[in-house]
């Protein structure tokens, strides 16, 4: 998931402003890396047979990896001085990560409301294979502006 550190996009924080899509490549190696970093070694995230035993179509990404990448998109939009005060989501659909080249997760957002001078609420969309994998994904960001 090596994404180059791009310069901060000059995004508007006005209500309705669209936040540019960030794409994250996800391979099995990324799942293993996240398992190690988070301590979540549930075998459905690396073992085809364990995933199949649960009726899943294949090895799936940790929901928290998807949410973590979405958080990375949020902090990318607002810059290092911003802080995420609230962040919530439902894991609507499992992100199946096949061996080899894996899949791509696309995270985009929209400023839903400016709550006060420096806090904005952002609504997020996370797509994998054209399907929404997160639902009700929202963050409240203290922009530091």
Residues that bind another protein (CB under 8 A): 1-3, 5, 24, 30, 33-34, 36-40, 44, 54-56, 62-65, 67-69, 71-72, 74-76, 80, 83-91, 94, 139
Nearest CB to another protein, comparing residues 45 and 111: 45
Q: Which is nearer to another protein, 16 or 75 (CB)?
A: 75
Which two three-digit tokens encode residue 121? 């609420």
Shortest Å, Cβ 130 to another protein:
18
Task: Report which of 23, 90, 92, 100 is spatially closest to residue 59, judged by C-alpha positions.
Answer: 100
Residue 140 Cβ vs another protein, minimum distance, rounded to whole Å:
9
Spatial distance between the Cα atoms of 69 and 37, rounded to a whole number of angstroms = 14
Shortest CB 137 distance to another protein, Å: 10
Least gap, CB of 65 to another protein (angstroms): 7
Q: Which is nearer to another protein, 80 or 100 (CB)?
A: 80
Pick 16 or 21: Cβ nearer another protein: 21
How wide is the angle at C-alpha 17 spanned by C-alphas 124 and 9, nearest 5°?
85
- End-to-end Cα distance, the chain: 29
- Whether 118 and 145 have beta carbons less than 8 Å apart is answered as yes
- Measured CA to CA, the distance from residue 78 to residue 84 in angstroms comes to 10
């Amino acid at each position: 998931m090596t994404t180059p550190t791009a310069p901060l996009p000059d995004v508007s924080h006005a209500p309705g402003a669209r936040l540019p899509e960030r794409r994250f490549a996800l391979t099995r190696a990324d799942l293993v890396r996240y398992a190690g970093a988070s301590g979540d070694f549930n075998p459905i995230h690396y073992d085809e047979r364990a995933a199949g035993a649960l009726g899943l179509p294949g090895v799936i990404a940790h929901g928290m990896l998807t949410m973590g990448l979405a958080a990375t998109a949020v902090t990318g939009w607002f810059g290092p001085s911003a802080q995420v005060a609230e962040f919530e989501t439902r894991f609507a659909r499992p992100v199946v990560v096949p061996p080899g080249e894996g899949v791509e997760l696309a995270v985009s957002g929209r400023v839903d409301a400016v709550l006060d001078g420096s806090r904005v609420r952002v609504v997020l969309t996370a797509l994998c294979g054209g399907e929404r994998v997160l639902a009700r994904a929202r963050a409240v960001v203290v922009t530091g502006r």
